[in-house]
Amino acid sequence: MSTIADALGVSTATVSLALRDSPLVADETRERIKDHARQIGYIYNRRAASLRTRRSGILGVVVHDIMNPFYAEILRSIEAELDRSRQTFILSNHYDQLDKQRTFIDTLLQLGADGVIMSPAIGTPREDIETAENNGLPAVLIARTVKGAGVPVFRGDDAYGIGLATNHLISLGHRRIIMIGGTDQTSTGRHRYRGYVAAMERAGLRVDPSWRIPGPRTKQAGFEVAGQFLSHKDKPTAAVCWNDLIAIGLMNGIARAGLVPGVDISVTGYDDLEEASIATPALTTVWNGQREVGRRAARVLLDRLSGIEVEPTQELIKPELHVRQSTTQPVERD
Amino acid sequence: MSTIADALGVSTATVSLALRDSPLVADETRERIKDHARQIGYIYNRRAASLRTRRSGILGVVVHDIMNPFYAEILRSIEAELDRSRQTFILSNHYDQLDKQRTFIDTLLQLGADGVIMSPAIGTPREDIETAENNGLPAVLIARTVKGAGVPVFRGDDAYGIGLATNHLISLGHRRIIMIGGTDQTSTGRHRYRGYVAAMERAGLRVDPSWRIPGPRTKQAGFEVAGQFLSHKDKPTAAVCWNDLIAIGLMNGIARAGLVPGVDISVTGYDDLEEASIATPALTTVWNGQREVGRRAARVLLDRLSGIEVEPTQELIKPELHVRQSTTQPVERD
DNA sequence: CGGTTGTATTAAACCGTTTAAATCGGGTTA
DNA sequence: TAACCCGATTTAAACGGTTTAATACAACCG
């Protein structure tokens, strides 16, 4: 800026004001300055500016794993929403490791980030969120919640959603339905399992504890669990899967074992990823409102930044059942 | 820092030196300062520091699309490599839009990023890379190259790799092999097509121009192109796909049409994503060295930052063929 | 005891921007 | 004619660190 100022015989203050279209500077001066800036390829130094303004234009986003299409879809919608603002965002995976998450938050604080959207790692204590907030880093949670953290949360209504899938299988005539994947260590996990049990019990079906096969939420895991599922002593006719990845992996595993998914075994997914509709057979699944979650989380964070007071409420997005070919009436096998 | 300095009756210079473990300050003083800093929850202000040091600790990474597992795997290895350095990285998709890519580079310049790893968008002119370099933003290219840009490039040997897949099909007895997906607008695209044609011609097989169905590189696209493929006038018995996503989509499409992929039609992929081995049938594909590409690009960029002179050479990583169940001897159909 | 050496600390400049307050010259008004 | 106002611009002080030359002081030496 001082180069420009010197070249044009004005002060840096004028340059600063001119470049930001302040009405304080005369039109003619502004044009001269802007022209010259363009000509010499001036590059605005954001960190110098942010030192003064206390705004860095950086937002952080932490999720479990970007490679997981569920989060990827959320990220897409966050990206789309932020595109229209002047914010840059920094991404990180925490892989459910608390220390990774803490390191990242610390980095954000050091960079003077303006806010953070996070899907908290398993076991995140309320204090971690408070640390961020107290140091001027407003947070918004997605997908998972942290008890007692006074910040907005956006997530799907998991208990209700898994209920939709379970009810659908029951209404097709299935009785021995096993739930696959997930863990009790996340709020999401507890909600989904509870929703499944509740739906079964509403239909008068007893749920055996062995009717749950917990595990990682990957395609690979679903694939590998197929054997265990098929050889289960109760001969289940259907699987309610934690998510689409597991469901697709499971269907692949079932096919590999010589059975036909969607005929011999019914399978439901969760999330309704793009993939679900092109899987073979096309997967019956629950749309979880990823787009909506990302969009609204971003929106609310931007609101918080612009000073709008936001209630720290939990917003539950209502899932919808999308029926496709992976669920049919049960057939007896053995 | 001045808070700490005042509280302890020393100068900010001493605090600065102590916190960075300078040998200039006495051990006892250092400890007092560090303890106090920890106690009051001091947060290092990176932007203030970078103003003086001209190092921001930020690296940029731009690829076509993070959601594409091929890039996701590269990102993973970049992340792993960078984890050990003190650099944070910022990610962006360009979706092959030049203006998006330019905006991002501009953002990096404004943030004073220390370097950028990029898989350049289609049509990226040499000048764009030079702009970055001239403004102190060293670049390293991955997956694709830009003619005349004097920077290091890491990519797989596409012509050789696709040749492996093509030769494999030919040796199984296939003669009418169609290439699916990709575009001539990227260097990768040209190399792969050339490799396919070369392999065919080496085997004395004429390639008809209609034996190429270009298109997007997504599962969806592969799925949708199945009809066109199956009804091709030359009754192809095998498909060499641009990548695993297309191959898997195509196999799903073939299955949907009532044929059995891996029996009626042989299919090869490219990239060897995790998914390839659990697809049904398991996909024969070409491992493209994603891990290696990411790791080495990150390594070289870090080298450049620490002042080590790096030759701007193209490094070709040798792909390997992984044979699985999606390729078998041809069967005649009609 | 003056001079040298070495260690610990500090003052001050600097990085590039923003902004509140001050300045300046010219026009208006009482 | 003095007082005041106005728009355009400048001044100077932040913002929070890093860096380097300078300083203070103690110990050692001959």
Average pLDDT over residues A14-35: 96
* pLDDT of amino acid A69: 86
β strands within chain A, DSSP E? 58-63, 88-93, 115-118, 139-142, 153-156, 177-180, 212-213, 238-241, 266-268, 285-287, 314-317, 320-322
Q: Average per-residue pLDDT in chain A?
A: 95
Q: Is residue A270 part of a domain?
A: yes
| B133 close to A (CB below 8 A) | no
Does one domain contain both B147 and B294?
Answer: yes
Is the model's pLDDT at B152 over the cut of 80?
yes
CATH number of the domain bearing residue B214: 3.40.50.2300
pLDDT in tens, B168-209: 999 999 999 999 999 999 999 999 999 999 999 999 999 999
Identify whether residues A147 and A165 lie together within a single domain.
no
Which pLDDT score, from 0 to 100, does residue A21 have? 95
Rounded Cα distance, B183 and B214, in Å: 6
Q: Roughly what angle, to the nearest 10 degrees, separates helices B158-172 and B187-202? A: 30
| Co-location of B125 and B192 in the same domain | no
Structure letter (DSSP) for residue B286: E
Residue B75 at interface with chain A, using a CB cutoff of 8 Å: yes
Pairwise CA distance, residues A66 & B91, whole Å: 11
Q: What is the pLDDT of residues A91-118, one digit of tens each?
A: 999 999 999 999 999 999 999 999 999 9
Given pLDDT bands bounded at 50, 70 and 90, which one contains residue A331? Answer: confident
Q: Within this chain, do residues A72 and A134 fall inside the same structural domain, yes or no?
A: yes
Domain of residue B168, residue span: 158-288
> What does the pLDDT average to over A232-246?
97
Mean pLDDT of A144-161: 95
Residue A334 belongs to some domain of the structure? no
> Is it the case that residue A334 has pLDDT exceeding 80?
no
Q: Which residues contact B13 (CB under 8 A, 6 or more apart)?
A: none
What's the alpha-carbon Rg for chain A, to the nearest Å? 26
CB-facing half-sphere around the CA of A41: CA atoms within 13 A: 6
- Angstrom CA distances, B52 to B20, B43, B49, B112, B159, stand at 15, 17, 6, 12, 47
Rounded mean pLDDT, B21-32: 95
Query: Using 50, 70 and 90 to split pLDDT, how confident is the model at B274?
Result: confident
Which nucleotide C1' is nearest B54 CA? C15
pLDDT at A84: 87
Token representation of residue B217: 């590189």
Angle of helix A158-172 versus helix A187-202 axis, rounded to 10:
30
The pLDDT of residue B117 is above 60: yes
pLDDT tens, position by position, A182-222: 999 999 999 999 999 999 999 999 999 999 999 999 999 99
In chain B, % helix, strand, coil (3-state, to 5) comes to 45, 15, 40
Per-residue pLDDT at B333: 58
pLDDT of B332 above 80:
no
- Domain co-membership, A181 together with A273: yes
Query: Which of B66, B73, B252 is the closest to A278 by Cβ?
Result: B252
Q: Report the C-alpha dihedral over residues B29, B32, B33, B39, rounded to 10 degrees.
A: 180
Q: What pLDDT is recorded for position A274?
A: 87
Please indicate, yes or no, whether residues B204 and B296 belong to a single structural domain of this protein.
Answer: no
Point out the nucleotide closest to B17 (alpha carbon to C1′).
Answer: D18
How far off is chain B from A203, nearest CA to CA, in Å? Answer: 34
Which positions 53-72 of A are in contact with B (Cβ < 8 Å)?
56, 58, 66-67, 69, 72
**Same domain as B86, residue B197:** no
Q: Omega into A261 within 30° of 0, i.e. cis?
A: no
Q: Does A43 touch chain B (CB under 8 A)?
A: yes
The mean per-residue pLDDT over the stretch A140-148 comes to 95
Distance B295 CA to C16 C1' (A): 35
Residue B122 falls inside a structural domain:
yes
d(CA B240, CA B219): 14
Residue of B nearest to A70 (CA): B67
CA distance B48 to B58: 14
- Is-contact B279 B249, C-beta < 8 A? no
Indicate if A279 and A259 belong to the same structural domain.
Answer: yes
Q: Which of A1, A50, A110 to mutate to test binding with chain B, by most B CBs within 10 Å of its CB?
A: A110
A201/A137 same-domain check: no
Residue A333: pLDDT band by 50, 70, 90 thresholds? low
Average pLDDT, chain B: 95
B188 within domain boundaries: yes
A308 and B CB contact within 8 Å? no
**B162 domain-assigned:** yes
**B90 contacts on A by Cβ (under 8 Å):** 88-91
Confidence of residue B334 (pLDDT cuts 50, 70, 90): low
Q: Give per-residue pLDDT as tens, B80-111.
A: 999 989 899 999 999 999 999 999 999 999 99
A109–B contact, CB cutoff 8 A: yes
Q: CB of A45 under 7 A from strand D?
A: no
A81 & A138 share domain: yes
**Cα A290 from Cα A120, distance rounded (Å):** 16
Residues B283, B287, B288, B290, CA torsion sign? positive
CB contact under 8 A, B135 and A41: yes
Average of per-residue pLDDT across B317-326: 97
Residues of chain A (53-92) having a beta carbon less than 7 angstroms from strand C: 53
Q: Which two tokens stand for residue B251?
A: 């196999």
Q: What are phi and psi of A119, to 5 degrees?
A: -105, 100
A·B CB contacts under 8 A: 97
Q: Is B32 exposed, middle or buried (0-12, 13-18, 19+ CB in 10 A)?
A: middle
Which of A75, A109, A249 is nearest residue B278 as measured by Cβ atoms?
A249
Query: Can you tell me which residue has its alpha carbon closest to the C1' of nucleotide C13?
Result: B52
- Mean pLDDT of the A48-68 span: 94
The 10s digit of each residue's pLDDT in A62-76 is 999 988 889 999 999
A329 domain-assigned: no
Q: Is the CB of B26 under 7 A from strand D?
A: no
Alpha-carbon gap, residue A283 to A296, rounded angstroms: 27
Q: Nearest CA to B57 among B78, B92, B88, B82?
A: B88
Whether residue B255 lies inside any domain: the answer is yes
Please give the Cα distance from A66 to A62 (Å, whole number). Answer: 9
Q: How many CA within 13 A on the CB side of residue B66?
A: 26
Across the range A246-275, mean pLDDT stands at: 95
> In the beta sheet, which residues pair with residue A61?
A91, A117
**Structural domain tally of chain B?**
3
Structure tokens at A22: 């302040």
Among the candidates B250, B269, B288, a domain finishes at B288
DSSP run (H or E) holding B146: none
Q: What percent of chain B has pLDDT over 90?
A: 91
User: Would you tell me how many other CB atoms lie within 10 Å of the CB of residue A19?
Assistant: 17
Q: What are phi and psi of A306, to 5 degrees?
A: -85, 15
B23 close contact with A: CB closer than 8 A: no
Helix or strand or coil: residue B150? coil
Regarding whether A109 and A81 lie in a shared domain, the answer is yes
- B270 and B293 housed in the same domain: no
* pLDDT of the residue at A278: 87
Say if A322 falls within a structural domain: no
Q: Write out pLDDT tens, residues B30-59.
A: 999 999 999 999 999 999 999 999 999 999
8 A C-beta contact, residue A288 and residue A271: yes
pLDDT in tens, B201-247: 999 999 999 999 999 999 999 999 999 999 999 999 999 999 999 99
Where helices occur in B68-218 by DSSP H, the ranges are: 69-83, 98-111, 126-134, 158-172, 187-202
> What residues of chain A, 248 to 277, have a C-beta less than 8 Å from chain B?
249, 252-253, 255-256, 274-275
Counting residues of chain A whose pLDDT is more than 90, the rounded percentage is: 93
Interface check for B26 against chain A (CB to CB < 8 A): the answer is no
Percent of chain A with pLDDT over 70: 99
pLDDT on residue B56: 96
**B54 CB and strand D closer than 7 A:** no
